[in-house]
Amino acid sequence: MVGIHDLEEGSMNFEIHNPQAQLLSELQFPGITQASVAITYAYVIAQEGDAADWRALNDAIRRRWKGKSALARIKEMAWRHVDRGLPGY
Query: What confidence tens digit (pLDDT) does each residue in 6-23 have?
Result: 444 455 556 678 999 999
Q: Against a cut of 0.85, is the pTM above it?
A: no
Mean model confidence pLDDT for the chain:
85
Q: Where residue 4 falls among pLDDT bands split at 50, 70, 90?
A: very low
Q: How many domains are contained in the chain?
A: 1
Ordered DSSP codes for 41-82:
HHHHHHHHGGGS-HHHHHHHHHHHS-SHHHHHHHHHHHHHHH
Domain residue limits at 72: 2-84
Q: Tell me, what's the pLDDT at 88?
A: 62
Question: What is the mean pLDDT of the segment spanning 29-53?
Answer: 95
Sign for the CA dihedral angle at 48, 14, 62, 75 comes to negative
Is 89 inside a domain boundary?
no
Is 57 inside a domain boundary?
yes
Is 12 inside a domain boundary?
yes
Q: Where residue 41 falls among pLDDT bands split at 50, 70, 90?
A: very high
Query: What confidence tens digit (pLDDT) does each residue in 72-85 have?
Result: 999 999 999 999 98
